Structure 1
């Protein structure tokens, strides 16, 4: 009987406990006492109704997105003109960055939200204080922001002049390279950065590349000849850019020009004729006389570099004994070494039959004038079948090589 009695007492204790628990629950549900139960967040029990003033529950406040400017350092001085602004943000997608000068004018720039960077779209001014403001929306609808200031470097004494051969408003031929020149040699380690800061925009769009002709000259050409009647805009943003040995770019510049109709001249030594095509159609065939064997014309692709309706060819400085001074009409230079297309009335009887020139492309007086009136600087002339090949660099020889070969002269790989 002992085990049974113990089991009975256990069941009795369980029953009593259950009754007490039920009493507590009933009391909590029905009591009108001001005492609040400690469960359910201190609120009323199930089925109870309370007004807003009786509720003690509160929603957690949203965490603020913190922002900070990390570079340039606060109150930094001697900051370079193309320095990026770096910042931290817990909400990059909604972060705004504003840079203003001492007069409060906003500086143009672009924001890389993935990299937390602001980059200037144009060079900053020498010796100028700037304010950076980085902000994100805050929980109360206001801006959560951070500000910092920095001052750019003073204008240095060593500045490199950067110039464009072409100017605004010019109309040039389809073979015209864009030519930039520098006032001092640019070390190789800086040339890639220089190229990155020289941008070319053509309308319609056309692929192209820069090529370094020397340490002080760089050209740009498209993959094929410029499309006729294109618009070309290029920007050179080198003010304040390091150009080696303590030297900096002096200024920025832009050029806006137009490409004219397509005019291509083709000279064949076998036929002693020049074929002139405009926009793909033959408009004239001209008898020519090229360089004799002792002074051959160069075979290759060249462009018209300069034009003079009337000039004098003087070679006496180079060759006092056999040099000559000769008045020339309708001259169009195609090489640095002195090869021209020009009128030569003294060789009109030989034109189309024999080569008697000193390397130039001789045409008649009348056809020389006609051709002179048709051409633009940058128009293309290709000569073939002569004893001598054109040497690259003897003029604007940008088209005397394949595009793949041309690209090798760029430092952007």
Structure 2
């Protein structure tokens, strides 16, 4: 309802705090997400140095020169975000990686899709010694192996705070971006390294890309088009222990597995002051609306429902303009921006809905229509508003869809293939 004023920060090294605070509204929501991901890489039978097939499930006996493994043998104070890699000459590829602790316990993980490194499925432990054994096969069929024993660093004192706005076992709308948040923001020089540790897998497979908000406090991941209904999103923001150039380290890994539900979309045209509602691409209802008046216009652009509250209080007494200060009980509120724009019931404006804009930036609908919408929508459902006096500001809400795909990929810290990135594994 008010002008742009972000409330709440993502804080905490022990658990995710996702705060969607109502602007001037005195209520907020906190949730936690937990997920354990990753599988151990498979090994396959291969001939030993004499050409005799090995037992099934055992790695091939090395016959080529030793590999140089990273982290280097004898390395100390290595980040717990370390990945295992090796220099493989002659265009060869790593075929298996084994990582164990000093007591012989095996660490699970998997190779990246491009074979560049092997990623542990969980952060390594601080102050712990590990031994990595890497086996690779050259283009000539020669098998090589290398071993490295290294020790991780002590737990750092200076860390960033981070958040993931996605939660286990929840169902979201087709426009739900994967949203990460950082405090303080990630410096530009670190974003490529951080982005390579932000893993998204989709089932069925769909390409996607990351986009950083200018100050580095948020990054969004989306596909070229809305997600297919029924998609499963598996996300790991693997930042625990990753070193940054400002002397800080990532605090924790954030993980979640969630579903995408039925396609539900809202489109609002200021010219007609109508909202057209679609389910699975078919028009199901048209609703009269009242948008923001000229002094407090609604934002034009594509937004997503960020939060839903059946009842709440809008409190804008801290607004610099006395004319915009009020305390009002609100029913069926659905947040669209950090700046305070919502879809909500507005019985006081029903007599002008469909004809005149009188709100402070929100999408006003009748009590009956607000109740119906509230029962239909999910967090992540898209709403597009057009024809108002203000354009949606980047970062004012989950603005991943306010850009075309070609514009969106320009915000990635690493080059993006034309079709988008595939699965990292």
Same fold, TM-score > 0.5, yes or no? yes
* Equivalent residue, structure 1, for 2:78: 79
Measured after TM superposition, the shift of residue 370 of structure 1 is 0.9
Change in 2 beyond 3 A, CA 1:362/1:193: same
Change in 2 beyond 3 A, CA 1:314/1:147: closer
RMSD after superposition: 3.2
* Equivalent residue, structure 2, for 1:308: 309
Measured after TM superposition, the shift of residue 319 of structure 1 is 4.4
1:166 equivalent to 2:203? Answer: no
Provide Cα deviations, 1:192-234, integer angstroms capped at 9, x if missing partner.
Answer: 0111111211112212111111322111111111111211111
Measured after TM superposition, the shift of residue 283 of structure 1 is 1.4
- Once the two structures are superposed, the pairs formed by residues 185-264 of structure 1 within 5 Å of their partners are 185-213=185-213, 214-264=215-265
Provide Cα deviations, 1:132-169, integer angstroms capped at 9, x if missing partner.
Answer: 45689xxxxxx998765332222222233332122111
Count of equivalent residues? 345
Measured after TM superposition, the shift of residue 88 of structure 1 is 8.0
* Equivalent residue, structure 1, for 2:376: 374
Measured after TM superposition, the shift of residue 80 of structure 1 is 3.5
Measured after TM superposition, the shift of residue 387 of structure 1 is 2.7
Give SS of 1:372's match.
helix
Measured after TM superposition, the shift of residue 397 of structure 1 is 1.9
* Equivalent residue, structure 2, for 1:49: none
Measured after TM superposition, the shift of residue 87 of structure 1 is 7.0
Whose radius of gyration is greater, 1 or 2? 1
Provide Cα deviations, 1:35-93, integer angstroms capped at 9, x if missing partner.
Answer: xxxxxxxxxxxxxxxxxxxxxxxxxx99x936546445544332333153547899x78
- Once the two structures are superposed, the pairs formed by residues 384-399 of structure 1 within 5 Å of their partners are 384-399=386-401
CA distance, structure 2, for counterparts of residue 190 and residue 387 of structure 1: 37
Preserved CA contact (<8 Å) 2:315 2:327: yes
Greater share of residues in strand: 1
Q: What TM-score, normalized by structure 2, do the two folds share?
A: 0.72
Preserved CA contact (<8 Å) 2:97 2:118: no
List gaps (5 residues or longer) in structure 1.
Answer: 1-60, 137-142
* Equivalent residue, structure 1, for 2:420: none
Greater share of residues in helix: 1
CA distance, structure 2, for counterparts of residue 328 and residue 133 of structure 1: 61
Give SS of 2:348's match.
helix
Measured after TM superposition, the shift of residue 347 of structure 1 is 1.4
CA distance, structure 2, for counterparts of residue 144 and residue 305 of structure 1: 51
CA distance, structure 2, for counterparts of residue 356 and residue 171 of structure 1: 34
User: Relative contact order (alpha carbons < 8 A, sep ≥ 6): 1 or 2 greater?
Assistant: 2
Q: What TM-score, normalized by structure 1, do the two folds share?
A: 0.74
1:266 equivalent to 2:284? Answer: no
CA distance, structure 2, for counterparts of residue 163 and residue 343 of structure 1: 30
Preserved CA contact (<8 Å) 1:78 1:153: yes
CA distance, structure 1, for counterparts of residue 212 and residue 93 of structure 2: 40
CA distance, structure 1, for counterparts of residue 326 and residue 117 of structure 2: 63
- Once the two structures are superposed, the pairs formed by residues 260-339 of structure 1 within 5 Å of their partners are 260-319=261-320, 321-322=322-323, 323-339=325-341
Change in 2 beyond 3 A, CA 1:357/1:229: same
Preserved CA contact (<8 Å) 1:340 1:360: yes
Provide Cα deviations, 1:332-377, integer angstroms capped at 9, x if missing partner.
Answer: 1212222211111111111122222222211111111111111111
* Equivalent residue, structure 2, for 1:353: 355
* Equivalent residue, structure 2, for 1:149: 149
CA distance, structure 1, for counterparts of residue 336 and residue 372 of structure 2: 18
CA distance, structure 1, for counterparts of residue 358 and residue 76 of structure 2: 68
* Equivalent residue, structure 2, for 1:121: 120
Moved more, 312-321 or 127-136: 127-136
CA distance, structure 2, for counterparts of residue 94 and residue 124 of structure 1: 21
Preserved CA contact (<8 Å) 1:67 1:135: no
